[in-house]
Amino acid sequence: MLISFRNKPVRGLVDLSVLENSDATGLCEAQRRGEISIPEIATVYLDRIEALNPEINAIVALRPRAEILAEAEQMEQMDAVGPLHGLPMAIKDLAETKGIITSFGAPIYKDYVPTKDCLMVSRLRRAGALIIGKTNTPEFGLGSHSYNPVYGVTRNPYDLSRSAGGSSGGAAAALAAQMLPIADGSDMMGSLRNPAGWNNVYGFRPSYGLVPGEPGGDSFLHQLATSGPMARSVRDLELLLKVIGVPDSRDPHSTTAFSGMGQGDIKGTKIGWVGDWDKYYPMEPEVLDLCVRGLDTLADLGCEVHPVIPPIGPEKLWQSWVTLRNFAIASKFAPLFSDPVTRDLLKAEMIWEIERGLALTSLEVHEASVIRSEWFSAFATMEKVDMLAMPSAQMFPFDATLDWPKQVANQAMDTYHRWMEVVVPASLTGLPALCIPVGFGTAGLPMGLQLIGKRGDDARVLRVGHTYHEITGFPQKRAPGKK
């Protein structure tokens, strides 16, 4: 079942074409030129949320409409405070947001209202974002299917019976349905890439350290997760990354500020197509075909695309990944596990992660990190490749009533996250990875392609994606309800 935009009443003061024909960057430019006001922008998006969100369930903890519009009117009377001035945003429900319930999708925190913003959200506010609520996520961000006991299931706008992915599933679905102009997300195991591919939008996992982590706690051992942007164009990714990709002296991995993707020519960019890694990854029919079609477009744009088998086996990467993920999750959430009251409220997958993490020896963690180091070095020294290309998912969006898919292409999955193993090569070593839309299968469901660059090569990866978007424009040409 598709959602048709044209069958949903919208009360906005401006025509719907403002949304369909413009990305967030264009919307900001139009507002600065006086062609549209901040209250008008807010009204259009709030109307779309009112019309579409009851079915999709992407936006949660939405602030009262009158309160949002009053703030929009105040912003309209002010000089612009930053590049996002007046732009409506809903924050992923894993990021603490002052004055708005931040539940992490978990019953333990269903009534938790932070008294201050986390670092990333504070930067969005300073840049002028109008924060209207949160976007849905799986409980504590575990798994790539955005459902939880607090808010329920987020559904895919291209087929309401299917998952929107995760853990940034609410953000991706809201972008696809044009309920938000731009969105933040976070990515430990593909959470900016899997949902982007499944919702026909862009998601970018930056190089680790480009977007500083929250100050406090350990800063050295756990380097698997990062925040990043999601959008309906690559220049919108650039817009948001300039805001959140700014150094913080308290983060030892913090790099120089992101200054933009630049204007360099992408011709001659060497892309190594990994595909299913010599049949290691089970893939549903059509996934690889759609990705190859996207690579053909990149080849037409001057990129040099050729098959490649990386020098380290994917089974070793998985071994390293599972160990380091268990270690990271147990380190963070062991206190909830130790308390019988909160332990009873944890999802089974969280308990599985913590129990495995607590059972690890220091030598096992060390060996996993050695594999991680070997993989980083191997890719960094691959002279015939500037970036790798892999599908953003091994299957199309699955039944939204499931907790997770138990098999892919008739092959059984032995963990709750094995079905999304294809995202591990970038996540394991903090590499920049961009998900670009590559079209739709015969069932009308979207698919994406990961472009994985070398550490620090964020601008180049985004330039390739931007050039591709200028030719394809998938999010604009094929919104939900469009044929």
Q: Which residues are catalytic?
A: 92, 167, 191
* Cα distances (Å, whole numbers) of residue 242 to 31, 256, 377, 459: 19, 11, 28, 11
58 with 170: CB under 8 angstroms? yes
Ranges of H-type helices in 360-457: 362-380, 424-428
* Cα distances (Å, whole numbers) of residue 46 to 41, 88, 215, 283: 9, 9, 33, 38
Dihedral (C-alpha) 467, 455, 436, 470: value to the nearest 10 degrees?
Answer: -10
Long-range contacts of 354-362 (CB under 8 A, 24+ apart): 354/326, 354/329, 354/330, 355/330, 356/322, 356/326, 356/330, 357/326, 357/327, 357/328, 357/329, 357/330, 357/331, 358/330, 358/334, 360/323, 360/326, 360/327, 360/330
Q: What are phi and psi of 412, to 5 degrees?
A: -65, 140
Q: Which residue has the tokens 């190859």?
A: 292
Q: Which residue has the tokens 């596990």?
A: 337
Give the type of residue at 50. E
The Cα–Cα gap between 367 and 339 comes to 31
Comparing CA positions, the residue from 204, 155, 93, 189 lying closest to residue 398 is 155
The Cα–Cα gap between 389 and 359 comes to 35
81 with 129: CB under 8 angstroms? no
Q: Name the β-bridge partners of 86.
A: none
